[in-house]
Amino acid sequence: MNWRKMLINPVLDKEFRLRMRTPRSAFSMLAYILVMGLLAMGIIYVATSSGSSQMGRVDAGVSRMIFYALSMAQLVLIAFMTPALTAGVISGEREKQTLNMLLTTQQSSSTIILSKLISSLSFMTLIILATLPVYSIVFLYGGVSPKQLVLVFLFYLFVMLLLGSIGVFFSTLFKRTMLSVIMTYGVGLVIFLVTGLVYILSLGITQSNMYATGSQPPPYSWIGFILGLNPAGALISIFEPSFSDTVFLVQGSNLTASAPIELWLEFLIFYSILIVLFIWLAIRYIRPVSRKKKKSIDQGPREEKAEAKEDSQGTQGSQGIQESQESQESQGFHNP
């Protein structure tokens, strides 16, 4: 049994070959690793030269902060690179006028969409795995467990899948790659930035109302659910489990019970639904012919009714003409 043929379809095989043969892929990976390496060295330099370290040494606490900073920096880089890799997978085929040829093959719409998405995310996954030597610097100082590193990388994969599904959807929806890229970055900006700003504003309004009325705040507030939609908040909750309890509190409240839900769990549940929705919509809208066919199917019964009505009217008209002719003949027979 050839497992390669079962797991890799022709579209996926073609995408793998084209993506890894170009020098652009190698340069992108090199640039990404250089940026992460420079960030790691800069963070370590700041940590060793500041007063948080003793005699220029990095303890476990400082090592943990370095790990957090590197993880956040990598999350930002993923937010910038993933839309660029996925927002043009379908619209690019349409601009090159090869999409119709691809749709005429035996591959289904779901196979085409998933193959394009997997090939783009696999390259991004390769780049993320290439940064493991950078994280090995943190393990030299301790304070970080391999379990935390594995959880962080799994979270990266989920965020890439989220941004990738959004990019593929807009690439299918719009004909121009530039427009799909702009829309993907716009939605990514809402997910990464707007959710955090809305949380800060909601927290400030809630606290001001609490001080103005002098009322006792509830143990937990609904504003914590807003931060659960932010990738940075979910990532911090993976680092520090107690962070989920803190964000639901209003200033002046007491921590008397656990949070309604962990931020990372809320993030996974909410955006898993969106991922399935975006992929389903991309599969639905990749074939415009199917929409026309559906429209013609809907118009079919109406056309049949119109034709039947015209036939009935024509039959009634011919019968009326025949009756008038017979009446004229009878009148001519009686009146010579």
Q: What is the pLDDT of residue 49?
A: 76
Residue 98 lies in a domain: yes
Buried b (16+ CB within 10 A) or exposed e, 107-140: eebebbbbbbbbbbbbbbeebbeebeebbebbee
Q: What is the pLDDT of residue 318?
A: 52
- Across 107-111, 173-177, 203-207, 273-277, the highest mean pLDDT is recorded for 273-277
- Arithmetic mean of pLDDT, 33-37: 88
Contact 26, 124 (CB under 8 A): no
Residue 38 lies in a domain: no
- Residue 336 confidence class, pLDDT cut points 50, 70, 90: very low
Residue 22 lies in a domain: no
Distance between CA atoms of 162 and 157, rounded to whole angstroms? 9
Residue 220 lies in a domain: yes
Could you read off the pLDDT of 299-321 as tens digits, one per residue?
A: 555 555 555 555 555 555 555 54
**C-beta atoms surrounding 200 within 10 Å:** 12
Q: With 80 as the cut, is the pLDDT of residue 174 above it?
A: yes
Distance between CA atoms of 148 and 68, rounded to whole angstroms? 10
DSSP class of residue 191 equals I
Q: With 50 as the cut, is the pLDDT of residue 256 above it?
A: yes
Domain range for residue 255?
Answer: 86-131+142-287
Q: What is the pLDDT of residue 217?
A: 58
For the record, the structure tokens of 45 come out as 């330099």
Q: What is the pLDDT of residue 291?
A: 46
Residue 9 lies in a domain: no
- Across 59-63, 247-251, 296-300, 318-322, the highest mean pLDDT is recorded for 59-63
Rg (CA), the chain: 32
- Arithmetic mean of pLDDT, 233-254: 78
Could you read off the pLDDT of 209-240 as tens digits, one per residue?
A: 766 766 665 656 778 888 889 999 999 999 88
What is the average pLDDT score of the chain? 78
Residue 16 lies in a domain: no
Give the number of domains in the chain.
Answer: 1
Q: With 90 as the cut, is the pLDDT of residue 279 above it?
A: yes
Q: Which of 89, 63, 68 is nearest to 152 (CA)?
A: 68
Distance between CA atoms of 275 and 80, rounded to whole angstroms? 18
Q: What is the pLDDT of residue 335?
A: 46
Residue 35 lies in a domain: no
Residue 293 lies in a domain: no
- Arithmetic mean of pLDDT, 269-281: 95
